[in-house]
Each structure stands twice: as C-alpha cells, then as structure tokens.
C-alpha cells in the first residue's frame, strides 16, 4: 500500500504564536490591531512592503500593499502589513551615500526574515520597486522557505522627448562638454522623471522584475506593467489570493527557486539585454536558496542565448513600450519553444511555466522592440564573465556588440569614483584610455558603489566608443559603453587591480573572455612587495559590519556566504584557484589618497 502523504498544514507557523492557553497574551495583542475570533483560525499572511516617499520607485507601494492585504483577507487568510527600508540609487549615485545601496539589500533581507520569523507568518507577499529591495525580498523569501509571492511595483512612464533618469546623467556629461546648455540641462532635470515607478529602461529594477517572473516567483505579467495602472492593482489582488492558495497547497519558495528556475532567469536577462547587477543578485538569491550557481554558469548559458530586445540603455526603447506590446510573456513563450527554458518548473500560480505560457500569444506584427531568433541584436550573451591576471576570480562585462568585442588601451588609474568623475568632466580622460576605478569593491568601498556617474559622463562627453572603464565596483543598469565591473579579488584585498599604474596597457577580449594587464610577472611582483593595505573607510556602524562580513563579488557579495549551502562545489573552486593566483600576484606600491 502506498504511503499516504500528510496534507499541508496551512497554519504551521501561526499556530505556534496564537494557539493554546500560553499564547493568550499574543492573542490579546493581536486583538488590539484588528483581529477577531475567527481570524485566529486563518493562515497568517505577511505583506512586506518596501513603501517610502524617498524615491519614485516606491512612493506608490502603500496603496499596492493595501490592495494585496484586502485580497489575502478575501481569500480566507489574515493579512498583516509591515514595512522594510529602501534607499534610492538614483539619488545617492555619485555620492558617499551610494556605499549604502548594496548594504541595503542585506538589511532588507534580514529585516523581512526577522519579522516573518518572529511573527509566525504562514506565507508572505513581498512588494518591491527599486533595485536592491527586489533581490533583498527574494533572499528573505528563500531563507524563510515559506509559501510566498513577489509583486513588482511597476515601471515609470517616460518623460517628454523619451527621457528617463539616464538622460539626466548623460546631460551632465553633455553640459561639461559644452554640447548641452544650462537651460537644456535644467529642462531635462525638471521633466525626465514624471511620476511613480521604477527607472524606465531595462535597468536593474526592470531586469530583476523580469528575472523574478521567469524564475516563477511572481505571477504572469507582474514584471511588465506600468506602476500607476489598473493592471498593477489587479496584479496585487491576484498575488494576495495566490499566497493563500500556495499556503493551502503547501508549495514553498524553495520548491520554486530551483537551479533550473535560476537558469530560466539568466536566460531571460540575456534575451532582454539586462543589467550586470542581475549577475550579483542571482548569485545572492541562489546562495539564500541553497542552490549551486556560479559565474561560469552565466558564460555557459550565454553561449546559446541571443540578445533579442532593443531596450535602453544600449537600445532604443523603454519598458513601458514593451508593456504596450505584451510585456515579456511572448518572449518567454518564444524562448520556451526554442528549447531555451525549463518548462517543467513550478511557479507561484501553482502551475508549471509551460502551463502558464500555454495561452501566451506573439508580439504584434511590425513591432521592432523584440527581434526574432533569425535576426538577433547579438547572437550570444551581452553579459560576459572575463578571467585573467587582472581578475583571477572573474569580472563581468556588459557588451552588446555595439561597443565592439575587444579594447586595448592605456590605464588611467583612480582610487575613487569621485576622482574619476572629476577627471572625466575636466577632460583629463581621453580617447584610448582604460579608466581604472579601484578600492570600490564590496569591502573596499565598502558597498561596491555603482559607476553610473562616470559612465554617464563618458557617454555625455562623446567618448563612449573610445574609452573603456573597469572597476571592482559595479554598474547601474543604466550604464553602457565598454564597461567591466565586479573585478575580483578586489583591490582592497590586494587583488591585481591594485597593482595597475598609469600608462599600463590593458587588453579586454570578449571573444576569449579575457582581461589582461600587459605587465611582466617580475614587475608585478616588485610592485606587490611594496603594497600596503588601505585604511578602512568605516570603523564602526553598518558599513564596518558589512565590510567585515561581505564575500567576494564572485559569490554575490553576500554577508553569509560561508554558512550558505550554495558556497559549496563550484563557487569554492574558483576562490581556491584565485588564492593560488594571488600568491603569485604582485602588490601595488602605494594607494593614492582617497578623496
């Protein structure tokens, strides 16, 4: 006789908090926030909102959280809304505040895990709208491993003349070059961000929303909706009901967040021409879910997946225009039909991805936002993981092919983002330079700041096709040009990037997946012998704690990598090889003063 499987307990966690004589005080507390007798017998669903009026990405999420909570209650659950933090990359970009951006991802994950663990939620809905709160939500849901749904807050509409936030950053460079007047810059500033929603191109927020839908953690079309729209409110209502259904069915987050699901996310990010931050965040989500995923998986998948979407920053169109022709569902269906997605993966709908996509149609005839497989923008991935004597643990390049596939030039070295930006604006950086920005890695920054200000200035100065930029920091999804980030090991740990001198020749070859510092081993050894570690930027507080605990960018720059199951076979093999290379690697003479 077949062994019977026990039915899922929809109150597995909340019952420990509210049932029985000894939990009478807990029930008394909950009555004060609206519980009635019948509510104690319902599944408890936490609605984690990242609302704040700090940023347009999140300013509307309070209303979405209320709609979600109402749907939870209508489906037979009992909702409770709680908040977590968010910070704005667009506002803090180019300032010391940007150091807190990636740190906020860990704080968000920790805070959601903390509240859900303490309050005994049986399931969750997490609502995010900005770059770091989205992966932070997913990391928390993966750690908790309870039934859960993610809701994306939606994309912003474009400003006049097809403007967005990147238009502002590039106008700054244009003003420095004399190609944009003071009046024109002021007009761009006043009109580029017309309202609520996440930044409008295939930048990090829209990239991660698409990846999360592809991995099955949000409902169909959640990633491709305008922030202020009836369809987004309806998405929240469906998510609230879906969370209750998942609790009753016993489908938990790690049933969905499998290795195959993460491979689906990588495939989708490549096809959309998405942000390099997706590499960092998907590695982090994999760590939280206990899934083996490594940098080399991005190269492996990238060899067979083309870039199909002509979206900003490298392309012409915005997310709202992709929304208007059907979002990402027709693209996912096409990828599935080509054998590039794992259709058997379960999603938060309770169905498989193949079942979810069964009714997905095609894009309308005549549209040119998403190309066919016969005429791709690039026949393989724009995200290229590079290795070499400059990056033994790896580096991540974003190359659509428009920039070319190789670059060789002389190093122009800066020990901070601020110093590099000033040099670009002042005309110090010239055609043929490889701008090196170091000591901006996870530990060295700390916080691995995004380099949108320098890349935006390079584009605005008209140097996008003649200057490369490499860094142990990272890039905004809005960055484009010949850029390489996430160089590991980072300079602050004595990685090879710290050895580079002005004038050294650097070669970047996407075909060979190589990044090379053209300096003899003997000279590098001499430089390394005289290197001294830089003083830490912070000695107390959250930045100091983060710098102490954070792992390499090659592992996702997470703060719990040692304990995470995902840090087993593949990820650990690379650091071991990197340590061997590091023993041979030279160290730089001195570190320039941080400005």
Cis preceding-peptide flag for 313 (omega within 30 of 0): yes
Q: What is the dihedral of CA 194, 196, 201, 206, to 10 degrees?
A: 180
Tell me the three state secondary structure of residue 570. helix
Q: How many CB atoms lie within 10 A of CB 83?
A: 17
Give CA angle at 309 (476, 57), nearest 5°: 40
Give CA angle at 112 (108, 114), nearest 5°: 115
Backbone angles phi, psi at 459, to 5 degrees: -65, -45
Give the Cα separation of 558 and 448 in Å (integer): 12
Catalytic residue among 111, 218, 476, 479: 476
Backbone angles phi, psi at 125, to 5 degrees: -125, 125
- Check if 111 is active-site: no
Q: Are 444 and 491 in contact (CB under 8 A)?
A: yes
Tell me the three state secondary structure of residue 82. strand
Give the Cα separation of 447 and 492 in Å (integer): 12
Of 197, 196, 175, the C-alpha closest to 186 is 175
Q: Which residues of 549-570 are buried (b: 16+ CB within 10 A; e: fewer)?
A: ebbbbbbbbbbbbeebebbeee
Q: Are 560 and 451 in contact (CB under 8 A)?
A: no
Q: How many CB atoms lie within 10 A of CB 349?
A: 19
* Catalytic positions, written as ranges: 476
């Amino acid at each position: 006789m077949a062994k019977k499987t026990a039915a899922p307990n929809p109150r597995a966690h909340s019952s420990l908090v509210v049932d029985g004589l000894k939990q009478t005080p807990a029930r008394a507390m909950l009555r004060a926030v609206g519980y009635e007798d019948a509510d104690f017998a319902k599944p408890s669903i936490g609605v984690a909102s990242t609302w704040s009026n700090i940023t347009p990405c999140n300013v509307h999420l309070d209303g979405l959280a209320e709609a979600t909570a109402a749907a939870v209650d209508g489906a037979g659950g009992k909702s409770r809304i709680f908040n977590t933090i968010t910070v704005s990359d667009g506002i803090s970009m180019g300032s010391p505040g940007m150091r807190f951006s990636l740190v906020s991802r860990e704080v968000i994950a920790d805070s959601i895990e903390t509240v859900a663990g303490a309050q005994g939620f049986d399931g969750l809905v997490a609502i995010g709208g900005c770059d770091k709160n989205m992966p932070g939500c997913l990391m928390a849901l993966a750690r908790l491993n309870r039934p859960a749904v993610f809701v994306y807050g939606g994309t912003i509409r474009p400003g006049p003349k097809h403007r967005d936030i990147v238009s502002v950053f590039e106008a700054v460079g244009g003003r420095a070059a004399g190609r944009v007047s003071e009046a024109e810059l002021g007009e761009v500033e006043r009109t580029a961000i017309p309202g609520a929603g996440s930044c409008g191109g295939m930048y990090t927020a829209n990239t991660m929303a698409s990846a999360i839908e592809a991995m099955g953690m949000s409902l169909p079309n959640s990633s491709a909706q305008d922030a202020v729209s009836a369809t987004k409110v309806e998405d929240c209502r469906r998510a609230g009901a879906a969370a209750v259904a998942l609790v009753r069915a016993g489908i938990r987050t790690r049933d969905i967040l499998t290795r195959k699901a993460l491979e689906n996310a990588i495939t989708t990010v490549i096809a959309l021409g998405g942000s390099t931050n997706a590499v960092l965040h998907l590695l982090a989500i994999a760590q939280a879910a206990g899934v083996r995923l490594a940098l080399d998986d991005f190269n492996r998948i990238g060899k067979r997946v083309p870039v199909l979407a002509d979206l900003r920053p490298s392309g012409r169109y915005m997310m709202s225009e992709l929304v208007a022709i059907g979002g990402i569902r027709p693209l996912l269906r096409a990828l599935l039909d080509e054998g590039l997605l794992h259709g058997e993966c379960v999603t938060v709908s309770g169905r498989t991805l193949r079942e979810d996509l069964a009714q997905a149609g095609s894009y309308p005839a005549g549209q040119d936002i998403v190309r066919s497989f016969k005429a791709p923008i690039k026949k393989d991935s724009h995200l290229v993981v590079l290795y070499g004597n400059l990056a033994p643990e790896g580096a991540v390049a974003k190359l659509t092919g428009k920039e070319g596939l190789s670059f060789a030039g002389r190093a122009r070295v800066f020990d901070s983002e601020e110093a590099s930006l000033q040099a670009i604006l002042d005309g110090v950086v010239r055609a043929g330079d490889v701008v090196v920005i170091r000591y901006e890695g996870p530990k060295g920054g700390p916080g691995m700041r995004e380099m949108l200000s320098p890349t935006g200035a390079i584009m605005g100065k008209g140097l996008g096709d003649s200057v490369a930029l490499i860094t142990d920091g990272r890039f905004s999804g809005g960055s484009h040009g010949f850029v390489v980030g996430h160089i590991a090991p980072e300079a602050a740990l004595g990685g090879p990037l710290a050895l580079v001198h002005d004038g050294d020749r650097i070669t970047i070859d996407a075909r060979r997946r190589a990044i090379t510092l053209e300096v003899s081993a003997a000279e590098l050894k001499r430089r390394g012998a005289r290197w001294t570690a830089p003083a830490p930027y912070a000695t107390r507080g959250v930045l100091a704690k983060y710098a102490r605990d954070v792992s390499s960018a090659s592992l996702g720059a997470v703060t719990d990598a040692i304990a995470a199951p995902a840090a087993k076979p593949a990820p650990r093999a690379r650091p071991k090889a990197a340590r061997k290379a590091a023993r041979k690697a030279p160290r730089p003479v001195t570190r320039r003063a941080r400005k």
